[in-house]
Amino acid sequence: MANGFRYTKVQGCIFLVAIASFMLSNGFVDCRKVETVKTEASVKHNKSVLKTIKGEGDDLIDCVDIYKQPALNHPLLKNHTIQLKPSGIETVNGVEDGVFQSWRRNGECPDGTIPIARTKAFEHRTSKPMPQYDSNKFVFVPPPNHEFAQVSLHGGQYYGAKAEFNVWNPASYNKDNSLARVWVGRGSGKALSSVEAGWIRGDGGQSGCYNLECPGFVQVSQKFTLGGPMSPVSSYNGAQYDIFLSIYKNTDSGHWWLNVGNEAIGYWPDTFLPSLRGSAELVSWGGEIYDSQAEGHHTSTQMGSGHFPDEGFGKASYVRNVQYMDDSSPLTFKDPAGLLTYATKPSCYNLIVKDKTPNMGIHFYYGGPGFSAACR
């Protein structure tokens, strides 16, 4: 493909995830799983499942009535009217990804349904507090056992963030994980609301909830399974594969939408995001590691490609065409200036921001191998 870039199609060990974190009353923060579509026996009696498609390995994809999806079981969405597509000038034109997930080779979900994986290799088993920051000045406070290599904008009124993320299959050990994501947030402490999306290698490790287990993510796409595996992935000195991700606020409805490529996947209603009912004050792009230190020292779990950013294209992982949307008129995505850089432990994982180029736009390289003589 031209310029050496390819867009990822999904199967294998890397998983597409959407994550939400918010503070509501105790009765509203539980994650509601689709228990009714977990087994063969229950599916026979579940009228919301209109079709089942064979996926990779033992995975089965249930095509569930869009109006009977898990998010709508929540009390806050009892009378919610689904917004079937974003409206207004903020609609995002992304990059066409083609056939994105391998289960679609075996069939398509019919109109009026969304695909939900009945059995998934990706499960959310571990948890952590979300990153915190001082809302008056940008002081990033990583939660225990988590490390970051990221760029951010802080202090404005932001309505969206997007980029193309290089996709790899980093090594992961001891239920640790490696995550590449775009993150939008506002507030701190108990007032923090944030949403993020990206790819993950490992078992999880975020507070809030993932994918359709979130009580508030409303899916509208019939083409993508959140939590579904991805392939192919980039190889060292070989072909490079990217995935286009964007999160943006629809100012007509107030919802925060997630796009993958040209496809609008769904949205987080602002009902669940008290601090994001207006604009965000922080947008961030980059990598994250959960380090359990299960072996008594720093994890060997890799970030990005597992190589440091100074190795450059084809060797280090990158995020390219980084853009954001603010409150200026018209509401359009633009290149950032003055990106704030942050690396928790540069000897373990680091990043390098590069000048804008025609193919890469505003971009940066990030990542690293983890445990070494310099990283303990």
* Averaged pLDDT for residues 28-46: 41
Active-site amino acid positions? 196, 288
Say how far residue 146 (Cα) sits from the centre of its chain: 17
Judged against a pLDDT cut of 90, whether residue 49 lies above it is answered with: yes
290 pairs with which residues across the strands? 146, 177
Q: What is the pLDDT of residue 124?
A: 44
Residue 41 host element (H or E):
helix 40-44
Judged against a pLDDT cut of 60, whether residue 120 lies above it is answered with: no
DSSP strand pairing (193-201 vs 14-21): antiparallel
Q: What is the pLDDT of residue 8?
A: 44
Tell me which long-range contacts 40-44 makes (C-beta under 8 A, separation of at least 24): 43/118
SS3 270: helix
pLDDT in tens, 265-288: 999 998 888 899 999 999 999 999
Q: Which residue has the higher pLDDT, 86 or 365?
A: 365
Quote the CA–CA distance of 139 and 4 in Å, as a whole number.
37
The answer for residues whose C-beta is within 8 angstroms of residue 272's C-beta and 6 or more apart is: 20, 22, 24, 28, 76, 215, 216
Q: Which residue has the higher pLDDT, 355 or 32?
A: 355
pLDDT in tens, 313-352: 999 999 999 999 999 878 899 999 999 999 999 999 999 9
Mean pLDDT over each residue of the chain, to the nearest integer:
81
Quote the CA–CA distance of 96 and 69 in Å, as a whole number.
26
* Averaged pLDDT for residues 43-70: 84
Quote the CA–CA distance of 159 and 138 in Å, as a whole number.
18
- HSE of 158, CA atoms in CB hemisphere, 13 A: 27
301 pairs with which residues across the strands? none
pLDDT in tens, 64-81: 999 999 888 888 888 899
- Please, which pLDDT band fits residue 99 given cuts at 50, 70 and 90? very low
Quote the CA–CA distance of 98 and 363 in Å, as a whole number.
24
Q: What is the pLDDT of residue 19?
A: 75
CB 231 within 8 A of CB 167: no
- HSE of 112, CA atoms in CB hemisphere, 13 A: 5
- HSE of 300, CA atoms in CB hemisphere, 13 A: 7
For the record, the structure tokens of 203 come out as: 């078992």
* Averaged pLDDT for residues 120-127: 44
pLDDT in tens, 182-195: 999 998 777 888 88
CB 310 within 8 A of CB 114: no
Q: What are phi and psi of 13, to 5 degrees?
A: -110, -5
Judged against a pLDDT cut of 80, whether residue 125 lies above it is answered with: no
Q: What is the pLDDT of residue 351?
A: 98
* Residue 191 DSSP class: G
Q: What is the pLDDT of residue 144?
A: 87
Minimum mean pLDDT among 52-61, 118-127, 313-322: which range?
Answer: 118-127
Minimum mean pLDDT among 51-55, 157-161, 230-234, 361-365: which range?
Answer: 230-234
Quote the CA–CA distance of 50 and 66 in Å, as a whole number.
10
Q: Which residue has the higher pLDDT, 213 or 298?
A: 298
Q: What is the pLDDT of residue 217?
A: 87
Q: What is the pLDDT of residue 93?
A: 61
pLDDT above 70: percentage of residues in the chain: 76
Closest listed residue to residue 230, CA positions, set 33, 78, 8: 8
Quote the CA–CA distance of 40 and 62 in Å, as a whole number.
11
Quote the CA–CA distance of 376 and 361 in Å, as a whole number.
35
Quote the CA–CA distance of 135 and 26 in Å, as a whole number.
25
Q: What is the pLDDT of residue 204?
A: 47
Judged against a pLDDT cut of 50, whether residue 41 lies above it is answered with: no
Output the CA torsion 87→93→96→100 (10° steps): -40
Q: What are phi and psi of 35, to 5 degrees?
A: -60, -25
Closest listed residue to residue 146, CA positions, set 130, 165, 169: 130
Quote the CA–CA distance of 373 and 376 in Å, as a whole number.
7
Residue carrying structure tokens 């979130």: 214
Q: Which residue has the higher pLDDT, 207 or 212?
A: 212
Judged against a pLDDT cut of 70, whether residue 129 lies above it is answered with: no
What's the whole-model pTM score? 0.86
For the record, the structure tokens of 166 come out as: 């290089």
CB 168 within 8 A of CB 317: yes
* Averaged pLDDT for residues 199-224: 70
Q: What is the pLDDT of residue 227?
A: 78
pLDDT in tens, 131-153: 555 555 556 778 889 999 999 99
Judged against a pLDDT cut of 90, whether residue 17 lies above it is answered with: no
Say how far residue 154 (Cα) sits from the centre of its chain: 20
Q: Which residue has the higher pLDDT, 47 or 89?
A: 47
Q: What is the pLDDT of residue 35?
A: 36
> How many Å is the Cα radius of gyration of the chain?
19
Quote the CA–CA distance of 104 and 125 in Å, as a whole number.
27
